[in-house]
Structure 1
Amino acid sequence: MSQPKFRHSLLALAVASVVSMPAYAQQEAQSEENEAKALERIEVTARRKTESLQEVPVSVSSFSAGDLTDVGVEDITELQQRIPNATIQVSRGTNSTLTAYIRGVGQQDPLWGFEPGVGVYIDDVYMARPQGAVLEVFDLERIEVLRGPQGTLYGKNTIGGALKYVTKELTGYDELSIQGTVGSYNQRDIKISGQTAISDNLYVGAAVASLQRDGFGEYVNTGEDNYNKDLLTYRISAKWLINSDMDLKFSYDKTEDDSNAKGAYRLQTSAVTGQEPYDDVYNSNTAMPVDNLVETEGWSLIYNWDVNANWGFKSVTASREGYTNTNIDFNSTGEPIFMVPAIYEDEQFTQEFQLSYTNNRDFDFVGGVYFYDGEACGVFGTVLPMYLAALGGVTVDNGGCVDTDSLAFYGQGTYQMNDDWSLTLGGRYTKDEKEADVFRYTYLGVHYINDGSVGTPYDPAQVRAAYGDPFAVNSEFTSGGDWSRFSPHVAVNFQATDDVMLYASYSNGFKSGGVDMRADKSLNPTIDEPYDPEIVDTFEFGLKSELLDGRMRLNSAVFFSDYTDMQVTVQRVVEAGISSQVLNAGESTVKGFEVETVFAATDSLNFTAMLGYIDAEFDAVVYTEPATGETTDVTDAWSFQNTPELTYNIGFNQTFDLESGQIVWSGNYAYRDDVQMFEAASPLDQDSYGLLNTSVVWYSNSGQWSVGLHGKNLTDEEYRVGGYNFGPTFGDDAIVGYYGDPRTVSLSVGYKF
């Protein structure tokens, strides 16, 4: 198989990309006539097969590499602006931990043992932990975001939706590209990627990115950077074409984030030091080292076999592991009042066998078996040097491990009943088994669990060996359980015209139960009992259409979800410390709608819009106070976390022809309604806000050079994305917030050999 030595990407054909909303598509090359042309077909793999976006009875948004390059998207959290009814944000104290919600379903707490409600996948490999899940955009083919339960075809815990990160395919062509970026706060990034063919049937590729930036603020009392970035990530891959029907692809990736731990902004004056909130929300104080390390790495082996014209077989074997070592000063005054050093460590192995069938006429099917084996461990110390100061302070160490085994069988088939009607039926049977070891010890005096003095700090025997017998044993137990469920899916499509498709679907989502790894039995004697699974039943009615001779794409959906036993993490300050519970929050209802559209007004001008509305409310919730056993009906007092009622995005994309190439000017305004950080109202709740962005990118006629100028959050909007809400705690309060990026401007220059 002969391969050319170089293939220059024809970027000039793709510069009219629509980049301000999820359903973007690249327009065809500009014609000599000054009239709009039809939007290009978008292909997705939402149903584990390649289909047109307009044929899939699923609410899905797709972003190509070109779409993201045009607006300078740096990581997946920026997609939040372009997806209706979604929250995709950095979680609290690091750059790399993800908080993801779709249609009100997600997981706010990144503690080990708690599982996300939105599944993140890299090339069909599920990432079980949110640490390291803020994926950087590089060496990318596309990103797909599926909204609503996706359990029929995807692995564990896609009860809210799935985010698919698809890396660039190895083609065997010789390619090499380099991009450098400088920007605000001394941003200095470099990305290099390339691939080649070693032989006619063996291709290799590699990509590396170094991302550096000074802090948006500083730790005022130490002078160190706050909200800085120091990250290195790389990927290597190889593809072997065994024969015309078989191929085998190996991939390995690693990310190391050495950015400082983020310091939080105090919202109230300290009762201990008198420190008032700073004028700059990115400034903080700390009584701890700002050392922070988040490492993730993984490998995968994907085997494809086209058995014959009808049958296909696929095997996905993968392993991933992660490590986090960080420090969080909850009080943020510079005095050692309430400090939390923490270590998280996890590893997972997954194996999926998939069988597909099509008769190339009226029926296709995808089914298989999925196995997951994972262990998540961790420990954090609540270090209180000034609490009971006469006794030298207090340290509470909380840690342990949870082992999870999951086995699932799934299948989904689509039957084309006639030219207009098709029926899809699917189901997934899942069985999860978990066993957790939990300890919580109270020591008099001060020590740091992550100072290296304990070999395995989440092993209670090693903790006791290092620090002796504790003053009090708050928890020391083993617990677990197993849960199983069959999750069905059914969808009906009606092709009303060649350009209009209507669909109705029902999907069931399931996330298994677990054990609260913060459990304190001295405060809550029944806390060692596992919490139950949460379940969502979602009905959706949608429309997918292409209007005005293909110049306008208009997709919309209306959905209704019955949410049962929602897992809500609740932490309360009590006289003896901080009490944690995971409540199965009764019954709740989520309903809303979504609209996405792109309109090619002329051959060089596109307008785009996205609108999401969601009404999420608890129908029946009773909260039990752990210290007293007193029950309270909080149905009317609680609200959904991280779920704004209204989101919208409007934008444009204009192309200008020059003798030297083309310029693409794009801009968008993204609005988010009021949002509540936790289940109960708090000072951390964020008012509505909007972000204004614009980009100007020049592409050379040769397709080799590109220069992009990107301005983000141009109005310098101040908005919170997370925080901690502990009232009077150990002599002071800990009501502190974390914030999204301020106004930034960056300049990128790229060259493709």
Structure 2
Amino acid sequence: MSLATLTLSLLASSLLSSTHADGLTDPVVAAPATAAVANDPAVDDDQDKAPEIVVTGRRRQETAQEVPLSITVLSAGQVDATGNFNVGKLQQLTPTLQYYSSNPRNSAINVRGLGAPFGLTSDGFEQGVGIYVDDVYYARAASSTFDFLDLAQIEVLRGPQGTLYGKNTTAGAINITTNQPTFHFEGKAEVTIGNLNFKQFKAAVSGPLSSNVAARLAVSSTNRRGTIFNVTSGNWINEQDNIGLRGQLLFRPSDTLSITLSGDYSDQNPECCGTVFVRTGATQRVLSRQYAALAAAQNYQVVSTNPFDRVTDIDANLNAGNIIGGAALRVKWDVGPGTLTSVTAWRFWDWKPENDRDYTGLPIVSKSQNPSQHDQYTQEFRYNFKGKDVGFVIGAFGFYQRIDTQGTEQQGAASSRWNLTNAGQISANILDGLVALNTQYLKNTSAALFGQVDWEIAPGLTIQPGVRLNYDKKEGFYQRRVFDGQGNPVLFGQTDPVKVAQRGVFAPQLSSPEFSAWNFSYDLTLSYKLAQDVLAYGTYAKSFKSGGINQNGLPTDAAGNPITAAGTIKPESVNHFEIGIKAQFLDRRATLNLSAFRTTIDDYQATVTNGQLGVLRGYLANAEKVRVQGVEADFSIRPSERFTAYGNAAYTDAKYVEFVDAPCPPELAGGTAVGGGQTPSAPGTPGGLSPANCDISGQVLPGVSKWAFSYGAEGNVPVNLFGKEGQVYLGVDANSRSSFSSNPSASAYTWVEGYTLANVRLGFRSSEGFNIYGWVRNALDKEYFEQLTVGPSNTGLIVGQPGDPRTYGLTISASF
């Protein structure tokens, strides 16, 4: 585990001017803003000192500098001031967090390059980074794409966390805490307007309903025009259109018992998610079957070859309808010397997508829709005890998930010319209207016992062992039925050349993969207080990520039959080492945390694709071994209440140690299959010989920048403005990352160049909870890509998603 990236709350916010009691875990003290320090009970009377940040990432209340693990702490004030209002934007504040998304469903959250295979949408595997909101586990990254609502604090824990959390997490955890109901009346409201028709509204109100019942209600709405103009539809796409609602009811019948019932609902309905043309790269297809020749044969010319013109001509309907919600019942009961906590929860996720899977303005794929319905049920019990020298957490966790998907993939009028070589079949347009109807479901059951002890065996010396016993079972079903444009079924056994050609694009398939296994995880941490404000620690963790099933169809053999052996994938076996030191000095005005880590994974779960249009999403397979190692440094300083600054840096070296049968990059794909004794052609040789797979041992893992930084500062001066005492403040924040590979197998065509994004804000905040500030994000208007994607069929097409351009606006908030 890496050392705590203790990102102090340098950005003052009136929303943190009062402390909210948490009736379920413990009082959450967010990293306080400058204006709020005097009112924070966890802060020393000397306002120049850095405030102590209280965290609950280890399921108990403690200060971040006391925790012998890697934890980044982000306050609501910092998140709000930098405009990072959802999980996808957090990577701008946490250097070792990576988030990639081509749409909400196809989203991945990784820590130090580990967590989920890059570029996969299968439901049949576990995510290695657990997402928790008020102790409730969110099983899919797609179900956490909501806007933060009434946020109190975010903790990003790095490294395996399975001995502390309900669901096993091998790469890390994101622990999100919202503000809880209070027994005093309070409220807050915030309005933001900006360019691109950006409008955001947030409000929350809390107070008592009786002497032992309190309630809290929060609402948010975000709208913004898209950043890409679609000349085909005449609309701006990739917009934001989100609403959210959260309600909580707290019943406290005694000082030792509190019961909270909560519910939330989020509705997202943007016209999203489209891409722009970036470039083409030579593959090993014959030249007449590569992008330039195919486009010319249909008199097609892309609307712009400059991706930062931000225009596209994709012609299929787009939609990223996403409804997320659920309910939870949390009970906290002080029993004798410890505390018993129960968390019962139900979550749902309703996904209604429409995509353009050929990424062009041609009607090649005319329809790509795979709506899903997700229901999840969890039950967690924990008992926490903290004595003078010994403390422990023990728990039990149960999980059940059901996902149903109904897919429709349909070929359009341009498909035959794009995908076929037989002149007669092209003339007859035999692929027009060819449709694949996919029905699939997943049943996922998990149960675990876990626990962790911390024992101070000598003054300042603590040993912390943890264990976890886990059981996982997955049952899947996948059926693809294929029909031609006249509604006739396309079946195996049909020898008609037309049917054979149609099966080359969409082939019927039926599979029912299953997986089940037990595993045992453990970890051991030793920590020692070298001085009052200096903590050194070392950790070893042995962890597992559950095996999985391929839920989007299986690869097929030469006869077109599914290869059943590929239906399941092995569990990942994780070995993790870390050492670190956490220190405060200059009378706690400065904090410096350093750490070094090394993680190896056997049977790493990786993405495999074969370039065929009908299996664009690919499937999962096991790479023999990967290794990630690195160093992290985090520094913050507050020499006075008038100035704060921070800088976080991460060096991450992530590579495949051994992956001998990996998918080939596009420059080595699309040609004639290599036969016995033949040698593959050089990369990008039209009409060349292509290997069936590639040995990418020693190459980098996708999505990981070797260097990443976040840094910033804020200064303020006292003023009397609008008849109110307060501060005028100026803040600057930036993040930088080096280049990274945007393809599971590194390709010369899909490297994303490194970039730096800078944000500036200038405002006034009063001591009475009023705050007004103007902001500019991506102030230098840096042109950059969030992700590059290889188009289907090995034509050499590369498309991408440009990051946001410069945006600016005004925010006004008040709390009372």
Give your verdict on TM over 0.5: yes
State the partner residue of 2:485: 445
Q: Deviations over 1:67-103 (max 9, x none)?
A: 22333332232321221322134x1134x86421101
The one of 353, 356, 379 aligned to 2:381: 353
Partner Cα distance (2:386, 2:813) in 1: 42
Partner Cα distance (1:192, 1:97) in 2: 30
Q: Which amino acid aligns with 1:142?
A: Q
Q: Which amino acid aligns with 2:760?
A: T
The one of 774, 777, 790 aligned to 1:725: 790
Partner Cα distance (2:73, 2:641) in 1: 22
Alignment check: 8 A CA contact 2:379 2:398 kept: yes
Tell me if 1:519 matches 2:553: yes
Tell me if 1:702 matches 2:713: no
Tell me if 1:137 matches 2:148: yes
Alignment check: 8 A CA contact 2:513 2:550 kept: no
Give the 5 Å matches for 1:142-541.
142-268=153-279, 271-272=294-295, 273-275=300-302, 276-278=304-306, 280=308, 282-308=310-336, 310-338=337-365, 339-359=367-387, 361-385=388-412, 386-388=414-416, 389-390=429-430, 392-445=432-485, 474-520=508-554, 521=556, 522=560, 524-526=562-564, 528-541=566-579
State the partner residue of 1:668: 733
Partner Cα distance (2:744, 2:408) in 1: 25
What stretches of structure 2 of length at least 5 have no aligned partner?
1-12, 20-29, 40-45, 281-290, 417-428, 488-501, 665-672, 676-690
Q: Which amino acid aligns with 2:254?
A: N
How many Å apart are 1:437 and its aligned residue?
0.5
Alignment check: 8 A CA contact 2:166 2:395 kept: no
Alignment check: 8 A CA contact 1:330 1:736 kept: no
Secondary structure in 2 aligned to 1:585? strand
Alignment check: 8 A CA contact 1:380 1:397 kept: yes
Secondary structure in 2 aligned to 1:66? helix
How many Å apart are 1:751 and its aligned residue?
2.2
Alignment check: 8 A CA contact 1:433 1:483 kept: yes
Q: Which amino acid aligns with 2:807?
A: T
State the partner residue of 2:27: none
How many Å apart are 1:312 and its aligned residue?
1.4
Partner Cα distance (2:52, 2:640) in 1: 18
Partner Cα distance (1:230, 1:575) in 2: 31
Q: Which amino acid aligns with 1:100?
A: I
**Deviation larger for 345-354 or 523-532:** 523-532
State the partner residue of 1:745: 808
How many Å apart are 1:676 and its aligned residue?
0.9
Q: Deviations over 1:335-388 (max 9, x none)?
A: 2112422212211000011112222x1001110100000012224333222334
Partner Cα distance (1:571, 1:380) in 2: 19
Partner Cα distance (2:613, 2:727) in 1: 66
How many Å apart are 1:579 and its aligned residue?
8.1
Alignment check: 8 A CA contact 1:392 1:446 kept: no
Partner Cα distance (1:575, 1:324) in 2: 23
Partner Cα distance (2:72, 2:547) in 1: 30
Secondary structure in 1 aligned to 2:261? strand
How many Å apart are 1:581 and its aligned residue?
3.0
State the partner residue of 1:451: none
Alignment check: 8 A CA contact 1:11 1:699 kept: no
What stretches of structure 1 of length at least 5 have no aligned partner?
1-7, 15-22, 448-469
Residues 1:419 and 1:398: Cα distance change in structure 2 (over 3 Å): same
Partner Cα distance (2:440, 2:531) in 1: 58
Matched pairs, number: 705
Give the 5 Å matches for 1:615-654.
615-623=653-661, 632=693, 634-636=695-697, 638-654=699-715
Q: Which amino acid aligns with 2:576?
A: T
How many Å apart are 1:529 and its aligned residue?
2.9
Residues 1:606 and 1:318: Cα distance change in structure 2 (over 3 Å): same
Q: Deviations over 1:480-539 (max 9, x none)?
A: 010221110110011000011100011223211111122234265235531111122111
Higher helix share: 2
State the partner residue of 1:586: 624
Residues 1:313 and 1:29: Cα distance change in structure 2 (over 3 Å): closer
Tell me if 1:736 matches 2:799: yes
Q: Which amino acid aligns with 1:118?
A: V
**Deviation larger for 623-632 or 535-544:** 623-632
**Deviation larger for 505-514 or 122-131:** 505-514
Partner Cα distance (2:811, 2:175) in 1: 26
Alignment check: 8 A CA contact 1:151 1:428 kept: yes
How many Å apart are 1:574 and its aligned residue?
4.3
How many Å apart are 1:29 and its aligned residue?
4.2
How many Å apart are 1:254 and its aligned residue?
0.7
How many Å apart are 1:578 and its aligned residue?
5.0
Pairwise CA RMSD: 2.6
Alignment check: 8 A CA contact 1:624 1:631 kept: no
Partner Cα distance (2:386, 2:815) in 1: 39
How many Å apart are 1:638 and its aligned residue?
4.0
Alignment check: 8 A CA contact 1:26 1:39 kept: no
**Deviation larger for 143-152 or 433-442:** 433-442
Q: Which amino acid aligns with 2:102?
A: R
Residues 1:363 and 1:696: Cα distance change in structure 2 (over 3 Å): same
Partner Cα distance (1:159, 1:631) in 2: 31
**Deviation larger for 287-296 or 261-270:** 261-270
Partner Cα distance (1:670, 1:346) in 2: 35
Alignment check: 8 A CA contact 1:239 1:249 kept: yes
State the partner residue of 2:499: none
Q: Which amino acid aligns with 1:401?
A: Y
Secondary structure in 2 aligned to 1:565? strand
Q: Which amino acid aligns with 1:698?
A: F
Alignment check: 8 A CA contact 2:322 2:352 kept: yes
State the partner residue of 1:692: 758
Q: Which amino acid aligns with 2:534?
A: V
How many Å apart are 1:473 and its aligned residue?
5.4
Q: Which amino acid aligns with 2:271?
A: N
Tell me if 1:545 matches 2:583: yes
Secondary structure in 2 aligned to 1:302? strand
State the partner residue of 1:92: 102
Alignment check: 8 A CA contact 1:176 1:194 kept: yes
Residues 1:411 and 1:202: Cα distance change in structure 2 (over 3 Å): same
Relative to the length of structure 2, the TM-score reads 0.82
Relative to the length of structure 1, the TM-score reads 0.89
Q: Deviations over 1:27-78 (max 9, x none)?
A: 5449xxxx98211111111111001101101100111122223333322323
Q: Which amino acid aligns with 1:702?
A: E
